[in-house]
Amino acid sequence: MVEVSDNKVLIPANAPAREAVERALRNDGWQSVAYGDAHEAEDVLSAGAAAAVVLPELSEQPNRVEVIKVVRRLCPDAFVVGIGDGDGDASADAVLRSGATPQELAVAVAAGRSVREARSAERALREKLRAVEEQMRAQAERIREVEDQCLKLRVWAKNAEELAIRDELTDLYNRRQFMRAADNELDRARRDQSSFAVAMLDIDHFKTYNDAYGHVKGDEMLAQFARVLEKNTRRMDTVARYGGEEFILLLPETREAGKVNLDPISVVERLRQAIERDPILNGPNKVDAPITISAGVVRFPADGRTGTVLEMIQEVDSRLFRAKHAGRNRICASPE
């Protein structure tokens, strides 16, 4: 589209009283350019466009329609003035009655300047709105991309955190997470004068089982063993794989038998029995030696010699060893 001239007006070469019309337009600051037909109008508009175009008389209807087409194509912001009523004026912006004076035509052209400016402002506004909408769409897309990346990062971080605190084979907590939980529980017990216990379990004759059936079956047995532990402990308990076939439990809010809270020895005994009765570990069709556990239990603050988590683990490991030495498939909760 060519740039619009602010003061150029196209008028038909055969317009009635053309000289008077041109004089009236010059008095208002317009530069008039005459054209004979649509082709001449196209040449003029291609060279420099115009602010307004006066259409030919209605008697030249075909030429009049072609002129309108040329104007709308090359100079859509130009103000189109038609003279006389009738068909063909529907595309004109203003229609003056037949016999309008040159001064009336000049006034109509002047009014067209405001219309053209309004059109230009409207188009600029639409373009700005489109640019703003495009920016908003782009921004929304960037926000969605950032949100998607943040979600992926949160999922990745959660998975990484779970991997850092979980045992890969059994999906129980690992030793590091157990130590963290036990340290927190010891601090809480000292602060609130509450009690807790630590129990260490070892699968009896696991090496023999592993050697007889292979590592794959051994891993399957460890995974099922972990599910039995989870099923028979409380949600508040921490169940972890300590290493190999050794598992360790943190049992908050436990006291000796006869008190309000649970007796940790009774809790571990129920675990021992649950493992013996588990239909997968020790089903009715199982013909080899049953899967059993030996366990040690240490209580805080009942076992006063245990002042740190490490000391409690050392002591519970010692009791576990005594349980195995005494014949396995039993619990040791005494210091000697």
Instruction: Indicate which residues carry an active-site annotation.
Output: 245
Q: Let me know: does 197 contact 299? Beta carbons within 8 Å.
A: yes
Torsion of CA 123, 126, 131, 132, to 10 degrees: 140
Check: CB of residue 299 under 8 Å from CB of residue 200. Answer: no
Structure-token pair, residue 177: 């997470």
- Report long-range pairs for 325-328 (Cβ below 8 Å, ≥24 apart): 328/204, 328/205, 328/292, 328/294
State residue 49 phi and psi, 5-degree precision: 60, -170
User: 123 Cβ partners below 8 Å, 6+ apart?
Assistant: 77
Contact 250, 185 (CB under 8 A): yes
The Cα–Cα gap between 235 and 253 comes to: 12
Between CA 117 and CA 243 the distance in angstroms is 83
- CA–CA distance, 249 with 241 (Å, rounded to integer): 9
CB 302 within 8 A of CB 256: yes
Residue 85, Cβ neighbours under 10 Å: how many? 12
Pair 174, 240: CB distance under 8 Å: yes
Tell me the residue length of the chain: 336
Pairing of strands 293-300, 31-35: unpaired
Tokens of 261: 């809270």
Classify the phi-psi angles of 103: left when phi > 0, otherwise alpha if psi is within -120 to 50, otherwise beta.
Answer: alpha
